[in-house]
Amino acid sequence: MSTPPPSDAPAIEAEHLVKKFGDFTAVDDISFSVPPGTVLGLLGPNGSGKTTTIRMMTTLSPPTSGTARVAGHDVTAAPAAVRKAMGLTAQAATVDELLTGRENLRLIGDLYGLPKKRVKSRADELLEKFSLSDAATRVAKSYSGGMRRRLDLAASLVAAPPVLFLDEPTTGLDPRSRNELWDVLRDLVRDGTTLLLTTQYLDEADQLADRVIVIDHGSVIAEGTPLQLKDRSGAASLVITVSRPNDVDEAVRVLDGRIGELHVDRDARRLTAPSEGVSALAGIAAAFTEAGIELDDIGLQRPSLDDVFLSLTGRRAEDPESARDTAGADTIEQENRV
Ligand X SMILES: Nc1ncnc2c1ncn2[C@@H]1O[C@H](COP(=O)(O)OP(=O)(O)O)[C@@H](O)[C@H]1O
Q: Which residues bind ligand X (CB under 6 A)?
A: 21, 24, 26, 44, 46-52, 324, 326-327, 330-331, 334
Nearer of residues 3 and 21 to ligand X, judged by Cβ: 21
For ligand X, give the closer residue by CB, 50 or 106.
50
Minimum distance from residue 25 beta carbon to Mg ion (Å) = 16
Of 50 and 83, CB closest to Mg ion: 50
- Which CB sits closer to Mg ion, 167 or 247? 167
Q: In whole angstroms, how close is the CB of 277 to ligand X at the nearest point?
A: 33
User: Quick check: 58 binds Mg ion (CB under 5 A)?
Assistant: no
Q: How far is the CB of 50 from ligand X (least distance, A)?
A: 3
For residue 193, give the DSSP letter: -
b/e code 199-208 from CB counts within 10 Å (16+ = b): bbbbbbbbbb
Which of 2, 48, 51, 58 is in the footprint of Mg ion by CB under 5 A?
51
* Residue 49 Rama label (left phi>0; alpha psi -120 to 50; beta): left
Least Cβ distance, residue 315 to Mg ion (angstroms): 20
Distances 113 to 108, 117, 118, 121, 317 between C-alpha atoms, Å: 9, 11, 10, 14, 44
| Touching Mg ion, residues 272-331 (CB under 5 A) | 331
Q: Which residue is nearest to Mg ion (CB)?
A: 51
Distance of alpha carbon 315 from alpha carbon 51, whole angstroms: 22
Nearer of residues 126 and 212 to ligand X, judged by Cβ: 212
Q: Binding to Mg ion by residue 170, rule CB under 5 A?
A: no
Contacts of 14 (CB under 8 A, 6+ apart): 30, 31, 32, 33, 53, 56, 57, 66, 67, 68
| Interaction partner, residue 49 (ligand X, Mg ion, none; CB < 5-8 Å by kind) | ligand X
| Closest CB 168 distance from ligand X, rounded Å | 7
Nearer to Mg ion, 89 or 331 (CB): 331
Q: Count residues contacting Mg ion (CB under 5 A)?
A: 3
**Smaller CB distance to Mg ion: residue 154 or 215?**
215
> What, of Mg ion, ligand X, none, does residue 100 touch, CB below 5 to 8 Å by kind?
none
Q: Closest distance between ligand X and the C-beta of residue 47, in Å?
A: 4
DSSP letter for 100, please.
B
Query: With CB cut-offs between 5 and 8 Å by kind, which of Mg ion, ligand X, none does residue 26 bind?
Result: ligand X
Query: What span, in angstroms and rounded, lies between the C-alpha atoms of 172 and 174?
Result: 7
| 114 Cβ contact partners less than 8 Å away, ≥ 6 residues apart | 1, 122, 158, 159
Q: Does 193 interact with Mg ion (rule: CB under 5 A)?
A: no
Integer CA distances (angstroms), 162 to 117, 293, 304, in order: 21, 56, 31
Burial of 232 (0-12, 13-18, 19+ CB in 10 A): middle
Which residues are paired to 148 by β-bridges? none
